[in-house]
Every structure is written in structure tokens, then in C-alpha cells.
Amino acid sequence: MNIYVYSDESGVFDKEHNDIFVFSGVICIGNDEKEKTTRKYIHAEKTIRKSNKYKVEELKACCISNKDKGKLFRSMNQAYKFAVVVKQKNVLDRIFKSKKDKQRFLDYAYKRGVKNALKCMLEQNIIQEESVENLYFYVDEHSTATNGKYELKETLESEFKYGTYNRSWDVEYPPLFNFLKSVNVEFCNSKHKYLVRASDIVANRIYYLAIRGMYKEINQISNLYTIILP
């Protein structure tokens, strides 16, 4: 069985001018669920397109009404979703001093958010460890350097396939999936991936609630697994 993780971000990782940063997205278990979830989102987009009020190529959160964002978000009610909310005021200042340190923290946050969701799904018997063969990550492409993309793949492979080692404490941590064959990461244009666009809508909703301190409302979103960092 394959697991597909689609993701996007909302906010700017810059504590001087921003309080909240969010990674969020959609998780599909198996090909059938991926196709079903995609069809639902396509239908929701087509329904909104019928009004002809948007001339943009993509229906992204930044350029559609709150009402239509709500329609797209509700189309993902049954989908499994993850979110990691970063409270930037609590992040160490030194993290923001170099692009490399910022990227390392963002990779860490992303990994933690996805791992939290998958771990909860294992505990709830939504997925079974021995049946998971491949993980596919589809991340909205940004200005990430090529080496940064490789580093994210290595981070995810260590967490889910190989396990990690903490030198400071001389402790080994086993991988989340012991029978995993591969971890695949694709940085893609949301124009070509419906569920990356869906992730943009989900991330925007989480961000909107988080900047208003509405964490109770975040916790009430169906099929959403959320962590707050740091």
C-alpha cells in the first residue's frame, strides 16, 4: 500500500514581522482514496468555476472569496489532514540568522507534522505498519535550492525508513515504518496537482484560525492531526 502526502504552507517564516507559520496538507491512503479525494476536489473547483467570476488559472486561497474557500475546504471534510503550527515568537533567534538554519528548522517542523499524523493513524488502526510500502510526498515548489530538496528527502527517509540517531544522548530511534521500501519527494507546481491546491486551502484555513488564537476551532476540524511548535 502507498501513502500519498500533499502539502503547502501559509504565512512567512520571519518572526520579526509574523507570528504564525503553518504547514498543512492532505494524506491519502492507497490509490483508490487518492483518486476519490481528487475527484471530490475537482468537482468543487468546477462548481465554483461555473460562476465565471475568476479569471485566474488556479483557484488558490489568495485570490478567491472566503465563501468559495469554505466550499473547497468542505470538499476535504472526509480526507485525512495534517497541520503543524509554528509560533514564531518562541523560535530561537539564531534560527533566523541563516537560510540553512531556517530551512533545517522548516524541514524539522514539516517532518514532525507528518509524523504526528501518521503515528496517530497507526495508533487508531487507520493504517497498519506492515502494509505500508511506499511514501509519496508532493510539496508545493518554492525557492528551495536543489541541495535543500535533497536534504528534505534525507530527513524524511531517516524518520520513516531508516531511523535516527541522537549523538548528544547516544540514543537510536527506530523508523516509523519498518517495512518501508521507498520515500519519494516531488516538488511540484500546484497548477498540475489538485491536492496540492487543496493543501493550500487547508493551510490557509489553519493559518486564519491560528493567527486569531482559535485553537479550539482547529481541534474541531474533522480528520485533522495538529501539532504546535516549538
Closest Cα to residue 19, out of 82, 90, 83, 96?
Answer: 90
The Cα–Cα gap between 124 and 33 comes to 18
Tell me the DSSP string of 39-91. HHHHHHHHHHHTT----SSS--GGGS-HHHHHHHHHTTTTSEEEEEEEEGGGS
Using a CB cutoff of 8 Å and minimum separation of 24, what contacts does 99-103 make?
A: 102/13, 103/144, 103/148, 103/151
pLDDT at position 150 is 84
CA distance 94 to 10: 22
Each residue's pLDDT expressed in tens, for the chain with a length of 230 residues: 999 999 999 999 999 999 999 999 999 999 999 999 999 999 999 999 988 788 888 999 999 999 999 999 999 999 999 999 999 999 999 999 999 999 999 999 999 999 999 999 999 999 999 999 999 999 987 655 556 778 999 999 999 999 987 766 667 889 999 999 999 999 998 888 999 999 999 999 999 999 999 999 999 999 999 999 99
Extents of the domains making up the chain: 2-229
Strand ranges inside 121-223, DSSP E:
134-140, 164-166, 171-173, 182-188
Distance in angstroms (rounded) separating the CA atoms of residues 43 and 205: 20
User: Is the peptide bond between 174 and the residue preceding it cis, with omega within 30 degrees of 0?
Assistant: no
Tell me 181's DSSP state. Answer: -
How far apart (Å, rounded) are the C-alpha atoms in residues 163 and 175? 4
pTM for the predicted model, two decimal places:
0.94
Q: E strands, 131-170, where?
A: 134-140, 164-166
DSSP 95: G
Q: Is 26 exposed, middle or buried (0-12, 13-18, 19+ CB in 10 A)?
A: buried
What is the helix, strand, coil percentage profile of the chain, to 5? Answer: 50, 25, 30
Residue in the block written with cell 473547483: 45
Class of domain 2-229: alpha beta
Residue 160 near residue 116, CB atoms below 8 Å: no
Q: Which amino acid is at 158?
A: S
